[in-house]
Amino acid sequence: MCGTDNTNGANGAAPIGRNNNGNANFQRNPYQPVGDFLSNVDNFQIIESTLREGEQFANAYFDTETKIKIAKALDAFGVDYIEVTSPAASEQSRKDCEAICKLGLKAKILTHVRCDMRDAMLAVETGVDGLDVVIGTSSFLREHSHGKNMAYIEKTAIEVIEFVKSKGLEVRFSSEDSFRSDLVDLLSLYRAVDKVGVNRVGIADTVGCASPRQVYDLVRTLRGVVSCDIETHFHNDTGCAIANAYCALEAGATHIDTSVLGIGERNGITPLGGLLARMVVTAPDYVKSKYKLHMLKEIEDMVAEAVQVNTPFNNPITGFCAFTHKAGIHAKAILNNPSTYEILNPADFGLTRYVHFASRLTGWNAVKTRVGQLGLEMTDDQVKEVTAKIKTLADVRPIAIDDADSIIRSFHLGLHEQSQTNGKTPHVLVQNGEEKTMATNGV
Ligand SMILES: [Zn+2]
């Protein structure tokens, strides 16, 4: 796939609120992406780097068995590529890379290597489908890391690319710290590697400094300079990793690097689940037909356990409260129509929504649903009465589901006992001077 022959995007979209006949009442999908012939928001590929970037996470230690389990799960999920640690990193890394290549997965296997002929020679012997070649191009890295100038970088890059291609493998060339590299240097380097037939060039926000607007500008500029695909890699130091990935696709990038739960160096990169939460809203048909979204939780749980962390409470999709609705006004609307307060459908991920009813913010609609879940029957007036009891207790202290359930059950029991008594002698209440007969229908 090459970015320049891409013809997708919200191509031909009518101006907002107006159709081609000039009818201003045209109903427009509010989630439709911004129309742009460059956009790849509904045609992108995922390079899943849990087994490379993720191995750089502080807590990560993946033995061979764990790597194989993760690789198989990611493959079943439907990621396009799985990137693994360089075989030059250690002898075990080389063996693991070979073992993953032998699994015969549908996903292509890439390894991430320095722009160095020795690393490339080792990597092409492992059975990988391609190499992701990287070198630092910012003045910081040129001065303080590898000490090479741009002429040397370009010459070596071309040698390595030609070598990898001569072995019939795919090759990507990426700068490191692209956003703090000189733009003219960067573009002339990418133009040179594009000319020798590199499959992809990569933009990497290695330090997580870029904003979505900067990403759009750089990728858009690069899209006008090279004809090959564009891969992007975003660190999350300033919380922009998902937004940056989205903007990169809007600007014409074709591939996004992710890791499960975003694990990676420091606080990691664009998370697989978070990116798909974003993309399923923008391009539901593409995302749902390509990725097995119901596997997401299982994969995140597997990786979370492997690196000994909990899934964050605010994680998109799988955070424990991602589909929990609490305020009474929200709960009522959700129970009528979930789209009122949900942009994602939990069922798409094999999950269920939860309407919170054990709090002072609850409303009787939520409690009514809970009454039904407990298999009890009450009239609306009775539900309103028990709701008031729940709210009274919840004003005094935090209450758990069990607390609210026992209030409901004992209230219901009271109604039941009352109705039995009433069956013998109808009970009459005198309230504000009026006579009211309590329910006698045994509910
Ligand atoms: Zn990285």
CATH code, domain carrying 259: 3.20.20.70
Sequence-separated (6 or more) residues with CB below 8 Å from residue 328 = 361, 362, 363, 364, 365, 366
What does the DSSP 8-state code read for residue 279?
H
Residue 348 C-alpha to ligand 1 middle, in angstroms?
Answer: 30
Is there a single domain that holds both residue 130 and residue 202?
yes
Instruction: Spell out where 65-167 has E strands.
Output: 81-84, 108-114, 130-136
User: What is the model's pLDDT at position 433?
Assistant: 36
270: CA distance to ligand 1 center in Å? Answer: 10
Under DSSP, the state recorded for 339 is G
Residues 311 and 296: their CA atoms lie apart, in Å, by 12
pLDDT at residue 430 in the model: 34
pLDDT the model gives residue 29? 60
- The alpha carbon torsion through 217, 222, 225, 228 (nearest 10 deg) reads -150
β-bridge mates for residue 204, sequence order: 233
Structure-block tokens of residue 132: 């992701």
Last residue of a domain, one of 306, 335, 354: 306
Looking at the fold, whether 199 and 80 belong to one and the same domain comes out as: yes
Q: Is 315 exposed, middle or buried (0-12, 13-18, 19+ CB in 10 A)?
A: buried
pLDDT at 423: 53
Please tell me the distance between residue 157's alpha carbon and the centre of ligand 1 in angstroms. 19
Same domain for 403 and 267, yes or no, is: no
**Can you say whether the dihedral through the CA atoms of 370, 376, 380, 386 is positive or negative?**
negative
DSSP 127: T
62 Cα to the center of ligand 1, angstroms? 18
Whether 258 and 395 map to the same domain: the answer is no
Give the residue ranges of the chain where pLDDT is below 50. 1-26, 424-443
From 306, 334, 360, the end of a domain falls on: 306
Nearest to 281 by CA among 293, 295, 270: 293
Nearest to 62 by CA among 83, 85, 79: 85
Write the single-letter amino acid at 431: Q
Q: What share of the chain is helix, strand, coil (3-state, %, to 5)?
A: 45, 15, 40
Give the distance (Å) from ligand 1 centre to CA of residue 177.
9
Q: Which domain does 245 fall in, by range?
A: 45-306
Left if phi > 0, otherwise alpha if psi is -120 to 50, otherwise beta: which for 262? left
Nearest to 65 by CA among 306, 292, 274: 306
296 and 347 both lie in a single domain: no
Give the Cα separation of 198 and 144 in Å (integer).
27
Query: Do 281 and 331 share a domain, yes or no?
Result: no
Helices and strands (DSSP H and E) totals, the chain: 15, 12
Are 335 and 275 within one domain? no
Distance from the CA of 57 to the center of ligand 1, in angstroms? 10
Domains: count for the chain: 2
Instruction: Decide if 294 is catalytic.
Output: no
How far, in Å, from the CA of 400 to the mean position of ligand 1?
42
Q: Are residues 120 and 237 in the same domain?
A: yes
Looking at the structure, do residues 343 and 375 belong to the same domain, yes or no? Answer: yes
Quick check: is 166 in a domain?
yes
How far is the centre of ligand 1, averaged over its atoms, from the C-alpha of 218 (Å)? 18
Question: pLDDT tens-digit profile of 231-246?
Answer: 999 999 999 999 999 9
**Distance from Cα 226 to the centre of ligand 1, integer Å:** 23
Does residue 10 form part of some domain? no
Q: Domain for residue 313, yes or no?
A: no
232 and 124, same structural domain? yes
* 189 phi and psi angles, rounded to 5 deg: -65, -45
Q: Measuring CA to CA, which residue among 34, 31, 32, 68 is closest to residue 50? A: 68
**Residue 394, domain member (yes or no):** yes
423 CA to centre of ligand 1 in angstroms: 73
Same structural domain for residues 385 and 290? no
Q: Which of 235, 255, 325, 330 is labelled catalytic?
A: 330
Residue 34 covered by a domain: no
Q: At what angle do helices 401-424 and 380-396 cross, to 10 degrees?
A: 140
The residue out of 251, 271, 306 marking a domain boundary is: 306
Over the stretch 362-421, which tens digit does the pLDDT of each residue have? Answer: 899 889 988 988 999 999 999 999 999 999 999 999 999 899 999 999 999 999 888 776
- The neighbour count for residue 147, using CB atoms within 10 Å, is 9
Residue 417's pLDDT is 85
Q: What is the per-residue pLDDT for 373?
A: 87
pTM over 0.75: yes
Question: How many whole angstroms from 85 Cα to the centroid of ligand 1?
Answer: 12
Q: How far is the CA of 264 from the centre of ligand 1 (A)?
A: 7
Distance CA(230)–CA(3), nearest Å, equals 7
Asked whether residue 249 is domain-assigned, the answer is yes
In a domain, 26, yes or no: no
Helix (H, G, I), strand (E, B) or coil at 79: coil
| Residue at 353 is within a domain | yes
Q: How far apart are CA 77 and CA 260, in angstroms?
A: 12
Q: What separation in Å is there between the alpha carbon of 268 and the centre of ligand 1?
A: 7
Q: Computed over its alpha carbons, how large is the radius of gyration of the chain?
A: 29
Same-domain check for residues 296 and 391: no
- How many angstroms does the Cα of residue 48 sit away from the middle of ligand 1? 12
